[in-house]
Structure 1
Amino acid sequence: MSHPRIGFVCQYRHPVQSLSPSELKAIEGPFNPRTTTLRWMDGVAPEVARDKLLEIVTHNLDAQRRLLAYVADLPAPLRMLRLSSDLLPFYSHPSVRAVYQDAAIQTWLAERFEAIGAMARSADIRLSFHPGQYCALGSDKPQVVENSLAEFEYHADMIRMMGYGVRFQDFKCNVHIAGRLGEEGIRAVWPRLSEVARQCITFENEEKVYGVDACLKLADLAPVVLDIHHCWINENDYIAPDDPRVERIIDSWRGVRPTLHYSQSQEHLQALGFSTEQKLEMDALLKVVSKRDLYGHSNRMWNHWTNDYALKFLDRFDIMFEAKDKNLAVLDFYNEFLAPAV
């Protein structure tokens, strides 16, 4: 994994987005995960709920293989994908857990995930997970910590079944330092994480409380994922590519090529007078929007100045794009900046 990569998150978008919603659903649906609700499952007979759950899981694992096949056909710099956290709905929930713990289901899942892992390795696709922000390992509430540990270990189980987690950062499973206890809470639960979880976990800076400096306090435990958009919001300025903290972030990966997260604020800023070529300065933005308005991700990477800025990290980092148009945003970027000249 020595060459630079850019990747997208979780779902496939068809290039012709002008199609009707039903047409897009028919095309995109086979690539993307489905789920159900606990309310529905609790409202039907247990065997009906189990059959429906396994039907959804079957679809999701088939969809993940289709999505990997799509990524495998892309140029090498685009072979990077964040897998969906929704592959096994309610895996860690007490009322559903028994379905997944059935021995026959465990064997079936292990075979399916092993095939997914083998497919990714054969195509040299860099994979990751990102449990949601409700995965708060640093919480001061014991039950939240227990739920968060179960949720993270759910991801670790999938990683293990795919054949990863056998060495440091052969797979990235990224979380924020969520919860009031922060670093103290993370260190307290660290011994309770499985070996696979500790091999794969990374800590990403977020917009509000736990920024880059907070993550670096945990660099002795796990790598730091630099999110340059979150850093910009948290610090009111862009972190310079030669900032000494960037080198410390790279060092936290212990020789593995680091991953950086990249997003932009939404396109509606253009209607407020901010151009595609303009450096987005926080002082000017906060005169017309709130900081919270800057959190949401754009559809595509519309601001050219920020694209040029992100490119300055690509020599040392792989870049995961967090954009609503998923693969389409990454393809745009690749074709503009990275594709070989014809």
Structure 2
Amino acid sequence: MTIVRLGYVAMSMELKNASPSQTMTFAQFQKIADREAAIRKLERIAQSNLKNTLRILKHNAASNIHFYRLTSRLIPLANHEALRDWDYLNPLRNLLREIGNFSKEYDIRIDFHPDHFVLINSTKKEVFKNSIQTLKMHYLLLKGMGIAPTHRCVMHVGGNYKETEASLERFIDNWMDVPKSIQKMVMLENDDTSFTLEDTLYLCEKLDIPLVFDYHHHLAHYRNVDWEVHWGRVIQTWKHSSLPVKMHISSPKSQKAFRHHADFIDLNMFFQFLKEIKGSVPQIDCMIEAKSKDNALFQLMEEINTRDDVEIIDGSSFHLK
């Protein structure tokens, strides 16, 4: 039997006043005349974000949720060029370690998904340089938590620039300049407009990177192209990972707005996927990308609980019979 574990992204709809993504713009930073005072304010915001992250993890543990995506906005302006001298990790070390210890104690798999401006295959050297800097921040945060960074950061391939093959080859060329420690951190995801499952598999197989299959993206990109014939290849990209295979699940907002994520998950759409992969892997971790965050997970589990082809394990996990 295959175990399915569900997770959700960043924000809890259940918890009040618990945003882990509070921020400050650089314009706001500049308005504070005393630079040291401005930096202290940034640090207070970052500490508040981490404390809220710990609150969310405790909420997850109480709800038996074992999979959670951290926001990439924990530390505002961490990579801004005007703040290169700011040692943002130092005042956060205790909180980071507490988050890491808690996630390990309660067996919560955590990872990141950097913003769309992180582009390994950019045509601009400055964008590539800034992308590496941002990925380094994610690496340092994971290290600060005491969590092994390997396969903890999922990314899209990047820009297509209307040249799919050239863009894929540029990714390979630029990949050679990515530090090995950061290479090991990365997973790649197929997207809904630029790079198909097959395109992404090409890179993942060539560069030994795990592929995070996004079912909704695949349907949005090529609704009539089978993905099942490539599923074995997807599994093989995880052969060197200590973590279970990961995928993304979301549902279209409507047929007209097919690419947009709905508030909740379409149960039938999800099980169309699960019935095809049942038995192919011992466990699969499914990250829910829905507007209603943890409420989408809770509602989905309520619906799953009524099925006779599953065996419920806990609040977010079940066996496929």
Q: TM-score range by the shorter chain?
A: 0.7 to 0.9
Tell me the equivalent position of 2:301: 334
- Contact 1:134–1:148 under 8 Å retained in 2: yes
Tell me the equivalent position of 1:65: 54
Aligned counterparts, 1:203-242, within 5 A: 203-220=188-205, 221=207, 222-237=209-224, 239-240=226-227
User: Post-superposition shift, 1:160?
Assistant: 1.6
CA distances 1:118-150 after superposition (whole Å, capped 9, x unpaired)? 110110001110001111111111111111111
Is 1:48 the counterpart of 2:8? The answer is no
Unaligned runs of 5+ in 1: 15-26, 270-284
Query: Which of the two has greater helix per residue?
Result: 1
In structure 2, the CA distance between the partners of 1:204 and 1:33, relative to structure 1 (3 Å rule), is same
Tell me the equivalent position of 2:95: 112
- Contact 1:90–1:97 under 8 Å retained in 2: no
Tell me the equivalent position of 1:9: 9
User: Post-superposition shift, 1:341?
Assistant: 9.7
**In the aligned structure 1, how far is the partner of 2:200 from the partner of 2:246?**
14
CA distances 1:81-131 after superposition (whole Å, capped 9, x unpaired)? 0001011112111112322x2xxx533323321221111011000111000
The number of aligned residues is: 294
Tell me the equivalent position of 1:156: 139
Query: Which of the two has greater strand per residue?
Result: 2
**In the aligned structure 2, how far is the partner of 1:142 from the partner of 1:332?**
45
User: Post-superposition shift, 1:333?
Assistant: 1.0
In structure 2, the CA distance between the partners of 1:253 and 1:330, relative to structure 1 (3 Å rule), is same
TM score, norm. by length of structure 2: 0.84
In structure 2, the CA distance between the partners of 1:156 and 1:251, relative to structure 1 (3 Å rule), is same
**In the aligned structure 2, how far is the partner of 1:109 from the partner of 1:297?**
33
Greater relative contact order, per chain length (Cα 8 Å cut-off, separation 6+): 2
User: Post-superposition shift, 1:31?
Assistant: 4.8
In structure 2, the CA distance between the partners of 1:177 and 1:158, relative to structure 1 (3 Å rule), is same
Is 1:297 the counterpart of 2:261? The answer is yes
Tell me the equivalent position of 1:29: 17
Tell me the equivalent position of 1:89: 76
**Percent identity for Structure 1 against Structure 2:** 24
Aligned-partner residue type, residue 59 of structure 1: S
Aligned-partner residue type, residue 107 of structure 2: D
Aligned-partner residue type, residue 66 of structure 1: R
In structure 2, the CA distance between the partners of 1:304 and 1:125, relative to structure 1 (3 Å rule), is closer
In structure 2, the CA distance between the partners of 1:66 and 1:214, relative to structure 1 (3 Å rule), is same
Is 1:324 the counterpart of 2:283? The answer is no
**In the aligned structure 2, how far is the partner of 1:341 from the partner of 1:214?**
36
- Contact 1:262–1:321 under 8 Å retained in 2: yes
- Contact 1:81–1:125 under 8 Å retained in 2: yes
1:258 to 245, 258, 280: 245
**In the aligned structure 1, how far is the partner of 2:211 from the partner of 2:313?**
34
